[in-house]
Amino acid sequence: MTNADIIKGYEYEKGKYVVMTDEDLEKIKTKKDKTIHIIQFARMAEVNMIYYEKDYYAVPDTGAEKAYELLRQALLSQKKVAIAKTVMGTNEKLLVLYPTREGIIVKTLFYYDEIAAMPKTVPKMKLDENELNMAKMLIENMTKPFVAEEYQDEYQARLREAIMKKIQGQDIVAVDTAASSNVIDLMEALKKSLELSEKKDQRSQKRLTGTA
Amino acid sequence: MDLFSSRGASPMLIASQCQAFDDPDYIYELKMDGFRCLAYIEPGKVDLRNKRNMKMLDKFPELGELHQAVSATCILDGEVVVLVNGVPDFYRLQKRTLLTDRFKIHMEASRCPASFVAFDCLYLDRQELNWMPLMERKNQLLDNVKENSRIAVSRFVEGKGKAFYQAAAARKLEGIVAKRKESLYYMGRRTKDWVKFKRMADEEFVVAGYIQKGRRTYSLILAKCREHTLVYKGHVTSGVTKEVIRQLTVTGIRPFHILPMGNEEAVWVAPTHVCRIEYMPNTKDVLRQPVFRGFRDDVLPREVQI
């Protein structure tokens, strides 16, 4: 089988496919476009968190630094974000650009029709005022600023440590002790070999003059 | 804002290939097969930038403590190298820069740590040293850097370029650089004051496509830019693995107007990757025994001009 034998299709029912020819796809292909097109501005709070997908840092190309800084400062002072579109691979992605002190962050967003509805309506139960107050008090007591650095995946940390230990154990067996891993040694050795060959030259010259 | 806080420095470039020579007005130092970087060092902090002014410390966390070896706020110019069997290994270094997983980076950093070989100092204690002669800058470098396992000061010899080149070539090192003792530091410029002699010639090319030659053999189709158009430059097969091919994005769009025979089976890719090709030096404009030496992410395709 070669590449030419592979066709593209869509399984619309189990075992049933429609074939999409290259022509079909070419017609609807998204035009390659590396630019980010801003469509509108909004307040960040208006973008429901459920649409958040992934984050990227946006950095300006050389020459575009001023336009970038202009956008960043204007957004920041108006407390607004930009809603934009760009092409990633073959997909047209919806984005939100939001300013920070360091630069602009790009968040890719899910489209509205990619978000599933809540699978079940949760009944709004009647609550006892005392219970609610208790719960509120508990929340109040446990509230403190969120510091991301304080949280770690502790299982991952232990797992990595265990992997690291094993590798280091194996490295000790595999290490080539003859060669130094220090770059200073390399440079010194080279310099020394040069000095040695110079001395040898001088000695052979002396011998030559001695016999003459 | 000054040169340090604006991160506005750019490394002085080295003029290419010539025959090794002896000249008492020159010093000679090893050309390390690594990544050229500028290190912005201040008390408690290091910021490592590549030629494109991108932050590199995330990829080389083991160099985050360089400030402990330096007694002043300064910008050091040097080469980040990884040693394998006692000599700089560009492959291993390049492998590191392609990693993104923080754990994998830390693992590689502890197994095969990088070092910074400083060879120049262009800023020291709020003063730009660019307009100081090389030998004075070298003295400042020596006075302010205390070597340890992660940072070294480049050794040099005076006058004896030919013998030093022979010694480097005998150990199959990349080559040496000759620098005029009086040379000033011209940022971002290539001058006759700094010249390299290399055992193997190397050049950057844009990857335009590939040809599958056998079950596991591939040739890359190489190109360079003339203004904004791509110009066909030849093939490289040695060193091209399936891993290399996998990193390319197939477009099927032929980027050349003129194309010699032997490219009928070509698979065209997006010209987004720049690779480094090593070949036997020769006087004709041909690639003799070319070897693929890896991709470079510190060079943009449009910078690869004829």
Q: What pLDDT shows up at residue B110?
A: 87
- Say what the pLDDT of residue A211 is: 44
Confidence grade of residue A177 (pLDDT, cut at 50, 70, 90):
low
Shared domain for B168 and B226, answered yes or no, is no
Q: Is B87 on the interface with A (CB under 8 A)?
A: yes
β-pairing, A16-20 vs A81-88, is unpaired
The CATH number of the domain holding residue B240 is: 2.40.50.140
The confidence score (pLDDT) of residue A21 equals 84
Note the pLDDT of residue A163.
87
| Helix, strand or coil, per DSSP, at residue A157 | helix
| Helix, strand, or coil (residue A18) | strand
Does residue B166 sit in the same domain as residue B260?
A: no
Residues A50 and A98 both lie in one domain: yes
Cα B29 from chain centroid (whole Å) = 15
Same domain, A103 and A155: no
Last residue of a domain, one of B198, B229, B261: B198
Strand B23-31 versus strand B175-180 pairing type: antiparallel
Residue A20 has pLDDT above 90, yes or no: no
Beta-bridged to residue B48, according to DSSP, are B39
| Torsion angle defined by CA atoms of residues B41, B70, B125 and B59, in that order, rounded to the nearest 10 degrees | -10
A97 domain residue, yes or no: yes
Domain that holds residue B47: 13-198
Sign of CA dihedral B13, B15, B16, B17: negative
Q: Is A76 part of any domain?
A: yes
Residues B182 and B289 in one domain: no
Q: How near does any CA of chain A get to the CA of B286, in Å?
A: 32
**Residues B152/B34, Cβ–Cβ less than 8 Å:** no
Interchain pair A179, B85: CB under 8 A: yes
Asked whether residue A156 falls in the same domain as residue A96, the answer is no
| Residue B166 and residue B93 in contact, taking contact as beta carbons nearer than 8 Å | no
Q: Which chain B residue is nearest to residue A191, measuring alpha carbons?
A: B157
Q: Does a structural domain hold residue A182?
A: yes
Mean of per-residue pLDDT scores for chain B? 91
Worst-scoring range by mean pLDDT, A69-78, A170-179, B63-72, B257-266?
A: A170-179
Report DSSP letters for chain B, one per residue.
--TTTTT---PPEEE-------EEEEEEEEE-SSEEEEEEEETTEEEEEETT--B-TTT-GGGTTGGGGBSS-EEEEEEEEEEETTEE-HHHHHHHHH---HHHHHHHHHHS-EEEEEEEEEEETTEE-TTS-HHHHHHHHHHHB---SSEEEPPEEEE-HHHHHHHHHHTT--EEEEEETT----TT-EEEEEEEEESSEEEEEEEEEEEE-SSS-EEEEEEEEETTEEEEEEEE-BT--HHHHHTS-B------SS--SS-TT-EEB-TT-EEEEEEE--SSSS-EEEEEEEEESSS-GGG-B-
Cα–Cα distance between A85 and A56 in angstroms, integer? 14
Asked whether residue A24 is assigned to any structural domain, the reply reads no
User: Is pLDDT of B241 > 50?
Assistant: yes
First to last CA, chain A: 81
Q: Which of residues 174-193 of B touch A (CB under 8 A)?
A: none
What Å distances lie between residue B160 and A201, B13, B166, B280, CA to CA?
13, 22, 10, 24
Reported as a single tens digit per residue, the pLDDT across B147-167 is 999 999 999 999 899 999 999
Which DSSP helix (H) or strand (E) runs through A73?
helix A65-78
Question: What total number of domains does chain B contain?
Answer: 2
Q: Which residues of chain B make contact with A54, given a CB cutoff of 8 A? A: none
Residues B137, B158: one domain?
A: yes
**What per-residue string of b and e applies to B54-85 under the rule 16 or more CB within 10 Å gives b?**
eebbebbbbbbebbebbebbbbbbbbbbbbee
Do the Cβ atoms of A197 and B163 come within 8 Å?
yes
Q: Is B32 on the interface with A (CB under 8 A)?
A: yes
Q: At what angle do helices B102-111 and A154-174 cross, to 10 degrees?
A: 30
Q: What is the pLDDT of residue B277?
A: 92
User: Is A183 an interface residue toward B (CB < 8 Å)?
Assistant: yes
Contacts of A149 (CB under 8 A, 6+ apart): none
Q: Are B121 and B72 in contact (CB under 8 A)?
A: no
pLDDT of res. B236: 94
| CB proximity A77 to B under 8 Å | no
Q: At what angle do helices A183-211 and B161-170 cross, to 10 degrees?
A: 120
Inter-chain CB proximity B83 and A184 less than 8 Å: no
* Partners of residue A168 in chain B, C-beta under 8 Å: 110
Q: Is residue B4 in a domain?
A: no
pLDDT above 50: residue B19: yes
Domain stops at, among A87, A113, A139: A113
pLDDT of residue B237: 93
Which pLDDT score, from 0 to 100, does residue A204 have? 64
Cβ of B164 and A190 within 8 Å?
yes
Token pair 């000061």 is at which residue? B153
**Residues B181 and B214 reside in one and the same domain:** no
- Chain A interface includes B171 (CB < 8 A): yes
pLDDT, one tens digit per residue, over A37-74 is 999 999 989 999 999 999 999 999 888 899 999 999 99
Report if residue A211 sits inside a domain: no
A128 domain residue, yes or no = no
pLDDT value, residue B147: 93
Q: Edge-to-edge, what's the strand order for the sheet holding A52-58?
A: A37-42, A81-88, A91-99, A104-109, A52-58
Is residue B89 domain-shared with residue B18, that is, in the same domain?
A: yes
CB of B167 less than 8 A from some CB of A = yes
For residue A52, give the H/E element and its range. strand A52-58
Give the span between the Cα atoms of B245 and B212, in whole angstroms.
Answer: 10
Q: How confident is the model at residue A82 (pLDDT cuts 50, 70, 90)?
A: very high
Task: Give the model's pLDDT for residue A212.
Answer: 40
Q: Where is the domain boundary, B198, B215, B231? A: B198
Binary contact (B85, A160; C-beta < 8 A)? no
Q: Are residues B191 and B224 in the same domain?
A: no
Q: Which of B198, B229, B255 is the last residue of a domain?
A: B198
Same domain? B263 vs B161: no
- Count of domains for chain A: 2
Asked if A33 reaches chain B (Cβ–Cβ under 8 Å), the answer is no
* Residue A109, domain CATH: 2.40.290.10
User: Which are the contacts of B161, defined by CB distance < 8 A and separation ≥ 6?
Assistant: B20, B21, B22, B23, B26, B28, B176, B178, B197
- The verdict on B20 touching A (C-beta cutoff 8 Å) is no
Q: Of the spans A104-108, A114-118, A166-170, B16-20, which averages the highest pLDDT?
A: A104-108
- B176 and B269 assigned to the same domain: no
Q: Tell me the nearest-neighbour CA distance from B285 into chain A, angstroms.
A: 32
Mean pLDDT of A125-154: 92
Report yes or no on B32 lying in a domain.
Answer: yes
Considering CB atoms only, which of B117, B149, B163 is closest to A194? B163
CB B171 within 8 A of CB A194: no
Over residues B183-187, the mean pLDDT reads 96
Percent of chain A with pLDDT over 70: 87
Choose the final residue of a domain: A62, A83, A113. A113
Q: Is residue B143 part of a domain?
A: yes
Examine residue B35 and state whether it is found in any structural domain, yes or no.
yes
With CA atoms as reference, the chain B residue closest to A184 would be B152
Does residue A158 share a domain with residue A95? no
- The separation between the first and the last C-alpha atoms of chain B, rounded to the nearest angstrom, is 36
Could you give the angle at which helices B102-111 and B90-98 cross, rounded to 10 degrees?
A: 160
Is A89 a residue whose pLDDT tops 80?
A: no
d(Cα A196, Cα A194) in Å, to the nearest integer?
Answer: 5
Q: Are residues B34 and B101 in the same domain?
A: yes
Lowest mean pLDDT among A19-33, B77-91, B163-177: A19-33
Which range among A20-29, A167-176, B92-101 shows the weakest confidence by mean pLDDT? A167-176
Among B21, B160, B153, which residue's Cα sits nearest to residue A195? B160
Asked if the structure places residue B3 within a domain, the reply is no
**What band does B59 get if pLDDT is binned at 50, 70 and 90?**
very high
Higher confidence at residue B200 or residue B57?
Answer: B57
- Domain holding A187, by residue range, is 151-201
Which one-letter amino acid corresponds to residue B188? G
Q: Residue B70 and residue B68: Cα distance in Å, rounded?
A: 6
User: Does residue A180 have a pLDDT over 70?
Assistant: no
A163, A179, A197 ranked by CB distance to B86: nearest: A179
CATH number of the domain within which B127 lies: 3.30.470.30
- Give the residue carrying structure tokens 């693929």: B292
B248 part of contact set with chain A, CB < 8 Å: no
Chain B residue whose CA is closest to A189: B167
Q: Do A106 and A165 belong to one domain? A: no
Mean pLDDT of chain A: 85
Residue A7 is assigned to a structural domain of this protein? no
Residue A206's pLDDT is 57
Q: Is A22 on the interface with B (CB under 8 A)?
A: no
Tokens of B251: 């477009």
Query: Which of the residues B103, B154, B303 would you substitute to probe the A interface, choosing the one with the greatest number of A C-beta atoms within 10 Å?
Result: B103
pLDDT tens figures, A98-126: 999 999 999 999 999 999 988 888 888 89
pLDDT at A9: 85
- Give the pLDDT of residue A209: 53
Whether residue B103 is found in the same domain as residue B192:
yes
Rounded Cα–Cα distance for residues B68 and B87 (Å): 25
Chain A CB contacts of B103 below 8 Å: 160
Domain membership flag for residue B58: yes
Percent of chain B with pLDDT over 90: 64
3-class secondary-structure state, position A53 = strand
Chain A residues with CB-CB distance to B100 below 8 A: none
Are residue A41 and residue A109 in the same domain, yes or no? Answer: yes
Quick: pLDDT tens for B277-293. 988 776 666 788 899 98
- Asked if A182 and B103 come within 8 Å (Cβ–Cβ), the reply is no
Q: What is the mean pLDDT of residues B104-129?
A: 93
A91 pLDDT higher than 60? yes
Residue whose pair of structure tokens reads 């067996």 in the numeric block: A173
Q: Which residue of B has its CA nearest to A156?
A: B103
Q: Quote the pLDDT of residue A175.
A: 59
Is residue B5 in some structural domain? no
- A184 within a domain of the structure (yes/no): yes
Give the whole-angstrom CA distance, residue B92 versus residue B294: 10
Q: Are B191 and B178 in the same domain?
A: yes
